[in-house]
Structure 1
Amino acid sequence: MDTLGNEVTRLLQDLVRIPSVNPSLAPDGNGESAIAAHLSQWAVDQGLSADIIDDKDGRPSVLLRSGPPHAGFPTLLLCGHLDTVGFGAMADPLEPRIEGDCLYGRGAYDMKAGLAAALIACREVARQGIGVNVVVAAVADEEHGSLGIQRILGRLEADAAIVTEPTEMAIGVAHRGFVWTEIEVKGVAAHGSRPHLGVDAIARTGALLTGLERLNASLATRAHPLLGPSIVHASLIQGGQEASTIPERCLVTIEHRTLPSQSVEDVEDGIRRLLKECSEADGQFVAEARTTMCRPPLETSVDHPLVTALAGAYTGVRSGSPDVVGMSYWADSAFIASRGIPTVLFGPGGEGAHADVEWASITDTIDCTRILIEVARSMEHS
């Protein structure tokens, strides 16, 4: 392994050692403060600049730059998140262990490997004097509410963006968005021995659940070429007060994974039609729905110059051509693209996102670093 490879590997090990569990996911999560401070000092040590973006809630993000912004240079944004999910039953989650090409540890795959690649690439652009402004957005809270990326977007201008989430070295040009909906089915409470005096909200919810199955089946008939169909499912259900009472309320949480052609309004219209069908079939069905969270989808043309540049850089570092794919998961990339910045995902491979055994490929992480440097170099001459 050469000097660059050793530096990428050491940085990844350092990042894994720093706990950054999202406190919105785990009550004992320590958040991003320690890792943000580490990256800020790392930037200074490497001759880069860094600004910690903190709204005084203990959820800082960091903006690192290859140098003072040069008005005549294009700007490449590299983005990765600082936070991880909880440790679960993982053994030694903060001890980066190397076996062959695998580096184990919480967050190694999701997504400190991609972050390490972006950071070293930024430094190399500065050291090699490549005429491109590189900005690394190391953001908080991607695993929950995406507070970090939303807070820093107003500070960013870029000509192109690469989110270094794990993509197995494929170029991700699309992913679904999602809409979360709460539906409250209303009944009338009564003594369990006198059901005729009440309306069973849980029983009424059965029609809603079967209606969701029909809706999902109808969505499956229309597919995106890279993402497949839109998907809807019931995620959570809560209802009833006690064993001897006819339940007066049942709350269902629905997730709808949306395609680039779908809007939040489309989803809300579909839910309204479903509730109307249930009500027409059962005069005692009464329900109200509200959208609780929504995130946009992503779609970048496979022919966009950023995709071409990334594919060319890949071919220059590895043999063959990269796959160009749609991603199964949602990422902060959608927020960046919504600002009019052409955006793709590209990062190393591995396994175990959110699982008890997690590892990232060292070879992929090093190659990803080299490819990001070459993308910057291609932008210098574009």
Structure 2
Amino acid sequence: MKAERAKEILVHLLEIPSPSGHEDRVALHIMEFLHKLDYDVHIESDGEIIDLVVNPDAELFFEVHMDTIPIRIKPFVRGNMVYGTGASDIKGGIASVLLMLENLRRLKQDLNVGVVFVSDEEHGGRGSALFMERYKPKMAVVLEPTDLEVHIAHAGNIEAYFEVDGKEAHGACPESGENAIELTYKMLEKLKALEPFKKRGKYFDPHVGLQELICENPYYLIPSLCKGRLEARLLPDQEVEDVLDLFEPILEEYTLRYEYTEIWDGYELEDDEEIVQIAKQAMERTGLDEFGAMRSWTDAINFVYNGTRTIVFGPGNLDISHTKNEHIDVRDIVSASEFLMEINEIYGKGR
């Protein structure tokens, strides 16, 4: 029964497209869902971004974003598996929160935590930034696909746009030109050889690679210009500024121009922090036993930068998120909702 209800909630969410900048319809659906359960919903907006807040005075918040990437696969169901853009990232997480709120009402239990549904996570993180401007919770659980692992650490990141300038020559005369594609890969190899990327991490290893590469060459020529985007994933304890100092001489050598488009430091919570201890108790009650670290941008970065001690947790798999094979097991949505209910109860008793 729980799995079927989770499936029903998720499919309704997936039937409403909500790519970044177009969250209005799914926000309205969530508001109507909550109003039927007699929850008060506070709307926060700056004219462009909309956030939905429940129990705004709480010091511990569950946060989940409403937006997805543009639709790549329409929803369909195979048994307990639900497919579709956003199934894993992160409408399965929304469904787990809604299922928790529904079960609290059914069991006549109090909502002790706050809940916020935000916009724009996939595009610029403006929804969580707006929320943190107006609210300062002490702790948070940010819902993201973690395979039900509790992530107490978070990667740092550097993303840069670049243009590599070569020298045009006839395609049969490579010795007379400079191949921009080959120069790009020489640049990448130098970046990969830097000391920070030789280290090994507790949860994952650091990595630098190309995310995008465009080298238009419609004629029989040695390509003279490559435009692209590279990304470096850093360990939680690696300082972004230290890595930038190593990056810049290489980028200066190989690129016509470059621009950093995303930069953030990672973090790792201490074992004795309150939110970690609450999560441990909830894990023991629900049979979850894995700690981990988030490898991608999440709204947790905006929370931690503003002083909120934050873990990342949720149903779904990060590896397949954004792909044409994106899907989720609805039984994991049920497990996530039960974990969140335990946090709600543990936190309520400890206040």
1:338-353 superposed matches below 5 A: 338-349=305-316, 352-353=320-321
Q: Do the aligned partners of residues 366 and 192 (structure 1) sit closer, same or farther apart at CA in structure 2, a change above 3 Å counting?
A: closer
Q: Do the aligned partners of residues 332 and 298 (structure 1) sit closer, same or farther apart at CA in structure 2, a change above 3 Å counting?
A: farther
Give aligned pairs, total.
348
| Structure 1 position 124, deviation (Å) | 5.3
The one-letter code sitting in structure 2 at the alignment partner of 1:258 is L
* Alignment partner of 1:267 is 2:231: no
2:296 equivalent among 298, 316, 329: 329
1:151 equivalent among 125, 130, 133: 130
1:145-184 deviation per Cα after TM superposition (whole angstroms, max 9, x unaligned):
2222122221222121111212222111112122112333
1:184 matched residue in structure 2: 163
| Structure 1 position 8, deviation (Å) | 4.2
2:66 matched residue in structure 1: 82
Unaligned runs of 5+ in 1: 24-30, 280-284
* Alignment partner of 1:12 is 2:16: no
| Structure 1 position 346, deviation (Å) | 1.6
| Structure 1 position 36, deviation (Å) | 0.7
The one-letter code sitting in structure 2 at the alignment partner of 1:356 is K
CA–CA separation in structure 1 for the residues paired with 2:172 and 2:327: 56
CA contact (8 A) 1:78 1:136 kept: yes
* Alignment partner of 1:365 is 2:329: no
| Structure 1 position 244, deviation (Å) | 6.8
* Alignment partner of 1:45 is 2:36: yes
2:285 matched residue in structure 1: 316
Question: What SS does the corresponding residue of 1:375 show, helix, strand or coil?
Answer: helix
Q: Do the aligned partners of residues 137 and 185 (structure 1) sit closer, same or farther apart at CA in structure 2, a change above 3 Å counting?
A: same
Question: What SS does the corresponding residue of 2:210 show, helix, strand or coil?
Answer: strand
Q: Return the TM-score normalized by structure 1.
A: 0.78
Question: What SS does the corresponding residue of 2:213 show, helix, strand or coil?
Answer: strand
| Structure 1 position 125, deviation (Å) | 5.4
1:174 equivalent among 153, 162, 171: 153
CA contact (8 A) 2:23 2:119 kept: yes
Q: Do the aligned partners of residues 251 and 364 (structure 1) sit closer, same or farther apart at CA in structure 2, a change above 3 Å counting?
A: closer
| Structure 1 position 98, deviation (Å) | 5.4
Q: Return the TM-score normalized by structure 2.
A: 0.84
* Alignment partner of 1:297 is 2:266: yes
Q: Do the aligned partners of residues 205 and 163 (structure 1) sit closer, same or farther apart at CA in structure 2, a change above 3 Å counting?
A: closer
Q: Do the aligned partners of residues 238 and 94 (structure 1) sit closer, same or farther apart at CA in structure 2, a change above 3 Å counting?
A: closer
CA–CA separation in structure 2 for the residues paired with 1:315 and 1:112: 26
2:26 matched residue in structure 1: 35
CA–CA separation in structure 1 for the residues paired with 2:116 and 2:283: 22
2:200 matched residue in structure 1: 223
The one-letter code sitting in structure 2 at the alignment partner of 1:164 is L
Taking only aligned residues, the RMSD between alpha carbons, in angstroms, comes to 3.3
| Structure 1 position 18, deviation (Å) | 1.4
1:211 matched residue in structure 2: 190
The alignment-based identity, stated in percent, is 26
Range with bigger deviation, 166-175 or 295-304: 295-304
Q: Do the aligned partners of residues 209 and 34 (structure 1) sit closer, same or farther apart at CA in structure 2, a change above 3 Å counting?
A: same
Question: What SS does the corresponding residue of 2:144 show, helix, strand or coil?
Answer: coil
Q: Do the aligned partners of residues 136 and 186 (structure 1) sit closer, same or farther apart at CA in structure 2, a change above 3 Å counting?
A: same
Question: What SS does the corresponding residue of 2:198 show, helix, strand or coil?
Answer: coil
1:185-204 deviation per Cα after TM superposition (whole angstroms, max 9, x unaligned):
44566888999998765665
Unaligned runs of 5+ in 2: none
Question: What SS does the corresponding residue of 2:292 show, helix, strand or coil?
Answer: strand
